[in-house]
Amino acid sequence: MNAAPKTLRHLSDLEDAGLTLAEKHAALEKVAAQYAVAITPAMAELIDRADPNDPMARQFVPDAAELEARPEGLADPIGDDAHSPVAGVVHRYPDRVLLKLTHVCAVYCRFCFRREMVGPGAEALTAQQLDAALDYVAAHPEIWEVILTGGDPLVLSPRRIKDVMTRLAAIDHVKVVRVHTRVPVAEPSRITPALVKALKIKRKATYVVLHANHSRELTDAAREACDRFIDSGIPMLSQSVLLKGVNDDPQTLGALVRALVECRIKPYYLHHGDLAPGTAHLRTSIERGQDLMRALRGRLSGLCQPTYVLDIPGGYGKSPIGPNYVSRDEAGCARIEDFNGRSHRYPPAA
């Protein structure tokens, strides 16, 4: 009986799978020593070995370009540390906090903005740290929403997830729990009935936000995993990262957001690439992102329109950076641009 495929974690594994070449080993060894590598069987199956620019490979296979040091690169590009009052908690916005339960992921994306802190050997919060994090949430009545993130919280066992959810349920002012995850596409077999049940708590709203960047990630197995959440009453949203050579053309981005909506997942955020070290080769310009959003507007259903955002370096939060459709003429009237680029006059208020 053949053993089940395992996650590829070493360069030799990638070479044996035909994902990298032996002659690149020395350069990639330096990348792997600095940034974690893991490609699940589900993701490895989607990579076209014959295409040197395969969009799935660009997301997960290490590249020597990651060693390129650029002056704008930041170890903590969105300022988590500056807003972390206790271990595991990031309190950047008034009414919500991040709760980083673990720094481990099922797969490690080459563009990750937390790439300096995630990977094998990174521990989940200790019992004492989790106690302190939940005590912080309980002591701040302005916290309406808790966002479970990491790493990826859904690499944890249903038992551990249930414990956290039960303890959050006991905090009266926490009304919403949001879970950010890549597991349904990266390792769909983890989305078991037990895990889904662990996320459901009485009198609280649970949302699952899927990270997916290309329509090929939404395999039959991934769709079935998402169905388990949605059919149980847990709504799903999505977040994607705009990536050069992965989804930075209207057809590919349009196929992604349409596939998400077909899966009953509302596209929520399209993130501009963060200034994480070694990721410059995957970032687009803001103007490119704005052009792509213009290409979606009016041509795809409103259900398919994510908000294009940039997380301002230093911890100042997300800002929408999509295109503007309003200008003013000399008479002070608004000029509204439609999705075909035509301008229309709109009178001022009386």
Cα 318–chain centre separation: 14
Spot the catalytic one: 58, 92, 178, 216: 92
Please provide residue 335's backbone torsions phi and psi, each rounded to the nearest 5 degrees: -115, 120
Active site residue 258: no
Amino acid (1-letter code) at residue 263: C
Spot the catalytic one: 35, 109, 115, 269: 109
Active site residue 105: yes
Spot the catalytic one: 35, 63, 76, 105: 105
Spot the catalytic one: 58, 100, 110, 114: 114
Spot the catalytic one: 63, 76, 248, 274: 274
Pair type for strands 334-337 and 343-346: antiparallel
Spot the catalytic one: 24, 93, 204, 227: 93
Active site residue 202: no
How far, in Å, CA of 334 to CA of 327, rounded?
6
> What 3-state DSSP class applies to 50?
coil
Active site residue 318: yes
Nearest residue to 308 (alpha-carbon basis) of 297, 298, 57: 297
CB 104 within 8 A of CB 155: yes
Spot the catalytic one: 54, 63, 76, 112: 112
Q: Facing residues of 344 across strands?
A: 336
CB 167 within 8 A of CB 134: yes
Active site residue 6: no
Active site residue 93: yes
Report CA Rg, the chain.
21
Active site residue 283: no
Active site residue 96: yes
Rounded (5°) CA angle 321-280-293 = 30
Active site residue 231: no
How far, in Å, CA of 144 to CA of 147, rounded?
10
Reading across the β-sheet that carries 318-320, which strands appear in turn?
89-93, 96-100, 145-149, 176-181, 205-211, 236-241, 265-271, 307-311, 318-320
Nearest residue to 84 (alpha-carbon basis) of 132, 40, 44: 132
Taking each helix axis as running N to C, give the angle between helix 286-296 and helix 250-262, from 0 to 180 degrees, rounded to the nearest 10: 60
Reading the block at residue 231, the tokens are 């059919």
Active site residue 333: no
Spot the catalytic one: 160, 297, 318, 325: 318
Q: Given phi > 0 = left and psi -120 to 50 = alpha, else beta, which region is 240? A: beta
Spot the catalytic one: 9, 24, 80, 96: 96
Residues classed as catalytic: 92-93, 96, 105, 109, 112, 114, 274, 311, 318
